[in-house]
Structure 1
Amino acid sequence: MDLAEWDQRHRDAFYSVKEALPYLEGVFVAYNSNIDAIKHLNEEDLAKLLELFEAAEIQEKISAYPREIKEPLDFLARLMISMRDGKAAEVPTYTAETHEWLKGHLGFDYARMGGQAGIIANLLVHLGLKKVVAYVPWLSEEQAGYFAPSESLLHPKVEGGKVFLKHPLEAYKPGIDSKVNWILEYSKDLDVSCGGNTFKVPRDNRLIISSRPKWLRLDMDKEIYEQLDSLGHVDGAILSGYQMIKEEYEDGTTYEDYVAKSVRAIEKLKSLNPELRIHVELTSIQNRVIRKAILEEIVAGHVHSLGLDTVEVANALNVLGHEELSYAVIRKGENGIMALYQGAVQLLEDLALERVHVHCLGFYICALAKGHPLTLKEHRDSLLFASSLAATQALEGKIETLDEAEAGLEVPVSEKGLEDLENFKLYCVGRKLCSPDEFEYGYIYGVKHDAVIVPSKVVSKPRATVGIGDAISAGAFVAMLAKMKQKWAGK
């Protein structure tokens, strides 16, 4: 694989998708939005935090691997684990005391729009889409202020029993508190020392402390559900936030109630437009019961597309009963990319999807069911467009316009990503999934599926890591929708 050739393919893909985007009439985005309090950690910050506890206490808590933040020591243990492994993680907290403790002992640098749906809605508006309808069940006045000030960005509002589309600042619910998440970002090579144990952080990444207040419900207002046709025509829907579903609630309801409601909303959306494509963006889900329910009851058989990263692939495979493959994905090593590809295909089959898009540092894999209306080149263009968006997000920390997104074209294609793909080439050609020439284009052919695999652009020192994954998944999915609409318009 040639670096210069893949760089040119990125350029060609970006302008090809840019030409197709105006064909889209609208996209629906739900459910999770919050305010992110962001802190970039340095060695001084870390030293102050570590001084608050005994080293033995910290090590004991690290060994216990807390799956939610109940006390400050849980937070510090998960931060150490995330830094040690260089892996992004999202850990829930159900108490307001965590937020207050972090404010008092650490503080944040700045606040901005958070939550996958909120970030994606703003991104799509900045890309120039004609209509982006966001829906956040807990939209507060403060939260509404973080949405882009654009006439193209709308939110359902119930007035007099009828549903109207208005900008979030005109559609919020009075008296609702805001949901605030903490994003703790850290940099590669940061020195960490705790009780005689020392290590260097292997890569830039972050730990997210996700606020899950007791009043939080992932649901859709009855009036809005019954009048979903008020959204007007939408070509696709991007749904996220299902990780906030709890096993049990104080009022006696359970996750099964909210899973059922989520499925009904998906089926209602699909009934409004037979050509509608629905994408679910997965994230870190600590609770195995919820993870399994989301995959088997919400995703399987109901949506078309799934987006996830390496860790999320491993977690999904594990809960679906593929423990050995899950371990191979998370262990990486020489066969890591092969396991990741096999994992993407396994999820495609197990969940009866059209498309599974996996984004990793340096390359993307997209497994596709046979019979998709787009060619592999059109799918490849979608992935490469997303790669350029992600590069801009990492380089600038934001994307304000589609023209500004061209900055990502100047970011080099990852040499490590190309190296990983070259190692994968032997596997694909040896199993006759493609010829050497076909692999050079990024095309893989299976008996029951196809796939596209591309190297991506990587910023060596990103300004921020939050939002990069959302830019990748949403960018590729919307580019795919645009290409489909463009193709149908030409017939």
Structure 2
Amino acid sequence: MELEYWENKHSEAFSDISKSLENINGIFVAYNSNIDAIKHIEKKDIAKLLKHVNLENVKHRSMSFPRVIKDPDDLLARLIIAMRDGKAAEVPTYSTDIHEWLTDHINFDNSYMGGQTGIISNFLANIGIKKVITYVPWLSKEQAEYFVNSGNLFYPIVENGKLVLKHPMDAYKSEYEPKVNWILEFSKGLDVEYDEEEFVVPRDNRLIISSRPIWLRIDMGKELYDHLPVLGKSVDGAVLSGYQMIKEEYDDGSTYLDYVTKSVKAIRKLKEGNPNIRIHVEFTSIQNKFIRERILKDIVRQEVHSLGLDTIEVANALNVLDYEELAYAVINKTEKGISALYEGAVRLLYELELDRVHVHALGYFICVVTKDHPVDTEEHRNALLFASTASAAKAKLGNIESIDDIKTGLETPISEDGHDHLKSLGKYLAREGICQSEDCEKGYVRTPEHDVIIIPTKVVDNPVATVGIGDVISAASFAAILAKMK
């Protein structure tokens, strides 16, 4: 079908879903948020930072590729690597020292809410969900200030033995420190000189210094934990993220098992209060393969209904589920990339015993759902189209402050590449005898085992912001599904 068809379907879906969101009683969102401090690195900034490090150390470490930033020498080494190669990178640091060092020597240009839970909570509150209950275990005063000042956004605490909902600014703990991620952006053509080395940055990109201080825990106090059934009763769904912060071992002797067990029990407590609650997990890239496997097999499998992830995260998930060849086809984007991505989503659906797997890729979304899912395929398509419009608005505006802001995404054209991928998947499904090639062009196919929804999306050529677009995509589509279930 022509692109005009998809333009019309996007408009119809926005109208349908925006009216349906009022059906949702509430959504619970946990566990991770942080502050993103963004600095665009110029030549003078590099020169200034280099004055405060050991140049020999930096030169040596820029060849050895530090995987953890322990001190300023590591930081400069990884920044030089990223700029030299023109490649994006995210490297953890396990103390607040690097944040303090950077603050002492350069000022950030802008700061924003970061972390999946923080971004999703603000987005859902801004588009008018009646009740958004957000929870992060390290709510500092600084972090609380980044949550939107909205009467429908709450933080759960226990007072006098009862669950009480307050705005985060009325619920923070003054003794908590903020978790700050630094995003160091650099531009193509930047001339870099250090010691006797010199090179030109080959492309625009960024280095993210991911703050993971030792006090980070996916946890909550016993009082709040005991009140989760009450909380669960007041919401229709939960969006859970941040599991990537689980470590194999902790300094206090606890292990991953303690926090995986607590995470599973928390979900079961929510279900105890509301057996019909829908649980969505927003996945992310996790370097530790063992932890990645444990999250998928011990938390997601059986306990979760819906999983959201991008192309790289699909490959990472398949890898630890022993589908290495399929993971390779997905990650290398061969001519079979779209069919491999579809087959990968199907494998995740069954291996993890899910009801729904939503994959967002540049230019198109794929969603596979079980035959008995309470929302039909056309409504699933509308949910994805609504998310496509929301992602375009996010990329275009940088932030979505109201449901009307999402409407601006309708002005963005449909990705022609995405439409080509849709046709390619249709041909693949036809070759497999699943359907006729043209069946896929309306955006959904019913197979004997499961249903497939695929849409071309709207793509902004020069986005104002890219951080958080995937979170908005998953949150928008999941909220739309909840609305239709009601």
Q: TM-score of the superposition, structure 2-length normalised?
A: 0.91
CA distance 1:224–1:6, shift in 2 (3 Å): same
Give 1:112 shift: 1.7
Aligned to 2:350: 349
Task: Tell me the residue number matched to 1:416.
Answer: 417
CA pair 425-396 structure 1, distance change in 2 beyond 3 A: same
Change (3 A) 1:257 1:190: farther
Task: Kindly state the Cα deviation for residue 44 of structure 1 after the two structures are TM-superposed.
Answer: 6.7
Code of the aligned partner of 1:151: G
Residue identity matched to 1:124: L
Contact 2:85 2:202 in 1 (8 A): no
Cα distance in structure 2, aligned partners of 1:410 and 1:244: 38
Matches within 5 A, 1:111-126: 111-126=111-126
Deviations 1:96-140 (A, max 9, x none): 232234334553111121111111111001000110111111111
Match of 1:200 among 199, 202, 205: 202
Alignment of structure 1 residues 202-281 onto 2, 5 Å: 206-231=206-231, 232-281=233-282
Contact 1:157/1:164 (8 A) holds in 2: yes
Amino acid at match of 1:173: K
Is the 8 Å Cα contact of residues 84 and 199 (structure 2) preserved in structure 1? no
1:147 Cα deviation after fit? 1.0
Structure 1 residues 148-187: Cα deviation after superposition (integer angstroms, max 9, x where no partner): 1111111111223332111111111231111111223456
Match of 1:145 in 2: 145
Counterpart of 2:303 in 1: which secondary structure? coil
Moved more, 419-428 or 5-14: 419-428
Q: Which moved more, 1:17-26 or 1:311-320?
A: 311-320
Kept after mapping to 2: 8 A contact 1:392/1:405: yes
How do residues 70-85 of structure 1 correspond to structure 2 at under 5 angstroms?
70-72=70-72, 74-75=74-75
Which structure 2 segments of 5+ residues have no match?
Answer: none
Could you say if the C-alpha distance between residues 340 and 191 of structure 1 is closer, same or farther in structure 2, counting changes exceeding 3 Å? Answer: farther
Contact 2:13 2:385 in 1 (8 A): yes
8 Å contact 1:411–1:457 — kept in the other structure?
yes
Separation in 1, partners of 2:112, 2:219: 24
> Does the Cα contact within 8 Å between 1:162 and 1:223 map onto a contact in 2?
no
**Structure 1 match to 2:384:** 383
**C-alpha separation between the residues in 1 aligned to 2:125 and 2:184?**
27
**What amino acid sits opposite 1:221 in the alignment?**
G
CA contact (8 A) 1:11 1:409 kept: yes
Residue 252 of structure 1, CA deviation: 0.6
Equivalents in 2 of 1:103, 1:428: separation in Å? 54
- What does residue 451 of structure 1 align with? 452
Q: Report how far residue 229 of structure 1 moved.
A: 3.4
Structure 1 211/290 Cα, relative in aligned 2: closer, same or farther at 3 Å? Answer: same
* Closer, same or farther: CA 247–25 of 1 in aligned 2, 3 Å: same
SS at 2:434's partner residue?
Answer: coil
Cα offset, 1:213, TM superposition: 1.0
Structure 2 CA distance, aligned partners of 1:355 and 1:236? 14
Distance 1:150 1:338, change over 3 A: same
Aligned counterparts of 1:48 and 1:426: Cα–Cα separation in 2: 56
**Distance change >3 Å, CA 438–CA 268, structure 1 → 2:** same
- Alpha-carbon distance in 2 for matches of 1:323, 1:196: 39
Aligned equivalent of 2:402:
401
**Do the aligned residues in 2 keep the contact of 1:185 with 1:465 (CA within 8 Å)?**
no
Q: Please give the TM-score of this superposition, normalised by the length of structure 1.
A: 0.90
Instruction: Give the CA deviation at 1:480.
Output: 0.8
Partner of 1:488: none
Q: Give 3-state SS (helix, strand or coil) of 1:450's partner.
A: strand
Cα distance in 2 between the residues matched to 1:345 and 1:78: 37
Specify whether residues 44 and 417 from structure 1 end up closer, same or farther in structure 2 by C-alpha distance, changes over 3 A only: farther
Count of paired positions = 482
- Counterpart of 1:441 in structure 2 is 442
1:39 is displaced (CA, Å) by 2.2
Q: Give the gaps of 5 or more residues in structure 1.
A: 486-491
Q: CA deviation at 1:71?
A: 3.8
* One-letter amino acid matched to 2:29: V
What's 1:107 paired with?
107
Distance 1:42 1:228, change over 3 A: same
Q: Find the aligned partners of 2:39 and 2:383 in 1 and give their Cα distance.
A: 32
Moved more, 344-353 or 38-47: 38-47
Taking structure 1 as reference, are residues 197 and 57 closer, same or farther at Cα in structure 2, changes over 3 Å only?
Answer: farther
Quote the Cα distance in structure 2 between the aligned partners of 1:37 and 1:398.
Answer: 16
For residues 240 and 462 of structure 1, the distance between their equivalents in structure 2, rounded to whole angstroms, comes to 25
Once residues 82 and 361 of structure 2 are traced to their aligned partners in structure 1, the CA distance between those partners, rounded to angstroms, is 17
Task: Check whether the contact 2:26–2:132 (CA below 8 A) recurs between aligned residues.
Answer: yes
User: Following the alignment from structure 1 to structure 2, what is the Cα–Cα distance between the partners of residues 229 and 8?
Assistant: 42
Note if contact 1:206-1:465 (Cα within 8 Å) is conserved in structure 2: no
| Range 361-370 or range 436-445, more displaced | 436-445
1:472 aligns with 2:473: yes
Query: 2:415 and 2:343 mapped to 1: Cα distance?
Result: 22
- How far is the alpha carbon of 1:83 from its aligned partner? 6.8
Q: Identity percentage over the alignment? A: 56
Q: Which one is further off, 138-147 or 234-243?
A: 138-147
Q: Report if the CA contact (8 A) 1:164-1:230 is conserved.
A: no
Letter in 2 for 1:166: K
Distance 1:65 1:289 in 2: 22
Instruction: Compute the displacement of 1:220 (Å).
Output: 1.6
Amino acid at match of 2:362: L
